[in-house]
Chain A
Amino acid sequence: MNILVCLKQTFDTEERIVVENGKVKEDGVKFVINPYDEYAVEEAIRLKEQFGGEVTVVSVGPSRAEEALRTALAMGADEAILADDPALFGDEYTVAKVLAAIARQKNYDIIIAGNQAVDDGSGQVAVRLAEELGIPHISTLTKLVVEGNQVTGHRDAEGDEEIVTATLPVLVTAQQGLNDPRYPSLIGIRKASKKPLAHVTLADLGLSEEDIRPRTEIVDTFLPKPKEAGRILQGELQDQVKELVQALIQVEKVVG
């Protein structure tokens, strides 16, 4: 079974984040594998252990993402592809196009990605990729069963569980709870440095800039406003209700 895992390196959201000139400041920031993608890597390795085959991990991102790919290799993936040509960077549309071009280079039976990246939280790339490739997808999985050609996915549907079946090839995305990712072992870390890691460029993928031109633009990036102290309304209940309605219309502008 050939498995492709889409992986993004993100900053660790448990660390303090500083925004400077409309961008998250990168120096001093700790980068990790996007936690949802870590479940994807683990699931892929488990499938490989069960059925044999190869796990390829792919990332579209800057050269620092190599570290995240090496970690996935240390966990047990077999080879890695890093699309670190800046000409390949853009929005979710771009990334899905690039990933599709990479996915077409080999016959993958199953593609696993995280349900979303914790940095931008858009949750679009994987499902766009499935559309690009014209294959079915099942998202936010908490359990995955593969039997022959048949795939059964238990998906987290906003707190409910939905059971969806599909046939290979399929794309699935991982939700928290899918598995408990292993630690890279020491021997794994040693072997990882000897496993193949290919860098690909726009030209390698036979894409043109126009093919992958982003469809969206980031205008600004800012941190949520620190929470201000609330106001406690005083006086007669009737007056409080009036005051509250007023405030909702005029100050908070949530009722119009």
Chain B
Amino acid sequence: MADPALVEELRNGVRKICSRFPGSYWRDLDARRAYPEEFVDELTKAGYLAALIPEEYGGAGLGVTEASVILEEINRSGGNAGACHAQMYTMGVILRHGSEEQKRRYLPEIAAGRLRLQAFGVTEPTTGSDTTQLKTTAVRKGDRYIVNGQKVFISRTEHSDLMVLLVRTTPLSEVKKRTEGLSVLLVDLREAVGKGLTIRPIRTMMNHSTTELFFEDLEVPAENLIGEEGKGFRYILDGMNAERILIAAECIGDGRWFIDKAVRYAKERVVFGRPIGQNQGVQFPIARAHVQVEAADLMRFRAAELYDAGLPCGAEANMAKLLAADASWEAANVALQTHGGFGFAEEFDVERKFRETRLYQVAPISTNLILSYVAEHVLGLPRSY
């Protein structure tokens, strides 16, 4: 169990940092689609992104519960944790499956913020959610792998030193199960760009620094293989529950921000001689959205508690992500509606957050894929995909 006093301290600590980065800061970045360097630096310096790294490797050794609170508070303040959340958890694959030498080499540097590992390359243009079909290959040649292929929507590659990359090392035709033959490589982006890796930014509807990657005979040292060759898919799955819980927390943060914003506006805005919030037609949707956010929050803490106790939590983590993403989206919609025309004006930040929170219906996993997981693995229905 997380210590409630510590959780409260964390909330206050993060709020304090965020208070120096108001809506105008994020709005300006959004307009330029620029990366929040200054914010991420402050957060890094204060050690928050090293929450999940064990103390022996220079981190804070906290659980997913505490880490999730940190991300929640960023979004709750009106910011966007999406710019840096991956620095918290992408290292998990090294921590759980890397060699002792890899851990000693990378984790303390990541914990100190000297090394950024916040890019995670899985999605491909032709295969999408059907991960095991991915086409990017890595062929072993002596002491290196030669990587060829293409990835899409890989975020923060321009703001990361390292990238965890999922590739196929044994062709599908040669493996018994499609989940076999995939491997995880650690790519040093500082060396790779221009030597077999081309990064092309994709402008999206929100500021998310996402990119397209082209690999042409990129050489990756064989010592950068994480764990055993061919077992990469399982390694990636192992990290997913933590990611689901953390993203759920960001959605909860968004949801609370939207509700606060909507409530404040509904109290202040007077038309027809009364605050709009006095109309049930305005207050009920806000109240309902609040109820959904609070319910999702319970599932998020339930999942986090199981995760931190080392218990299976796949169902809870997925359900938390689905509930939270739905709740934040509903809250976003309500906040926009409550603000009327002003919700569309940039200076209220509602339209920006509205765009930002919408992502979580699709990435890192789309809502439908969660439902198919629950249908198959929790309810025992036939596999649909």
For the complex formed, measure the closest distance between the CB of B20 and the CB atoms of chain A, giving whole angstroms: 9
Determine if A192 and B17 form an interchain contact, defined as CB atoms under 8 angstroms apart: no
Residues of A within 8 A of B5 (CB): 70, 193
Most buried by A among B9, B10, B13: B9
- Give the contacts of A9-57 with B (CB-CB under 8 A): none
Inter-chain contact B17/A70, CB cutoff 8 Å: no
Q: How far is the CB of A67 from chain B (nearest CB, A)?
A: 8
Contact A185 B9 (CB under 8 A): no
A188 to B17, CA, bound (A): 15
User: Interface size (A, Cβ < 8 Å)?
Assistant: 14
**A189 to chain B: which residues have CB within 8 Å?**
6, 9-10, 13
Determine the chain A residues whose CB is within 8 A of the CB of B8 once the complex forms: 67
The interface residues of chain B lying within 8 Å CB-to-CB of A183 are: 13, 16-17, 42, 45-46
Give the interface SS of chain A, mostly helix, strand, loop or mixed.
Answer: helix
Contacts A71-B12, A74-B13; A186 near B6 (Cβ below 8 A):
no
Say if the beta carbon of B56 comes within 8 Å of chain A: no
A251 within 8 A of B: no
B interface, over-half SS: helix
- Which residue of the partner chain B has the closest CB to A193? B6
Whether A186 touches B3, Cβ cut-off 8 Å, given contacts A70-B9, A71-B12, A74-B9, is no
Q: B119 near A: Cβ within 8 Å?
A: no
Say if the beta carbon of B227 comes within 8 Å of chain A. Answer: no
Could you tell me the distance between the alpha carbons of A187 and B13 in the complex, rounded to whole angstroms? Answer: 11
Residue picked from B10, B12, B42, B45, most chain A C-beta under 10 Å? B12
Write the A173-186 contact mask toward B (1 if CB under 8 angstroms, else 0).
00000000001111
Cβ-based interface call for A195 (8 A): no
Please indicate which of the listed interface residues A67, A70, A187, A188 has the most CB atoms of chain B within 10 Å of its own CB. A187
Rounded to whole Å, the gap between the CB of B57 and the closest CB of chain A is 12
Point out the residues of chain B lying under 8 angstroms from A188, CB to CB. 47
Alpha-carbon separation in the docked complex, A186 to B44 (Å): 10
User: Within the complex, what minimum Cβ distance (angstroms) separates A143 from chain B?
Assistant: 23
Tell yes or no: B360 within 8 A of A by CB: no
With both beta carbons as reference points, the residue of chain B lying nearest to A181 in the complex is identified as B16
B51 interfacial contact with A, CB 8 Å: yes
- The reply to whether the CB of B307 lies closer than 8 angstroms to some CB of chain A is no
Which residues of B come within 8 Å of A, CB atoms? 3, 5-6, 8-10, 12-13, 16-17, 42, 45-48, 50-51, 60-62
The 7 closest A-B pairs by CB, nearest first: A186-B47, A185-B47, A183-B46, A185-B46, A186-B60, A189-B9, A186-B48
A-B contact pairs, 16 of them (CB 8 A): A67-B8, A70-B9, A71-B9, A74-B13, A183-B13, A184-B46, A185-B47, A186-B13, A186-B47, A187-B60, A189-B9, A189-B13, A190-B60, A190-B61, A190-B62, A193-B5
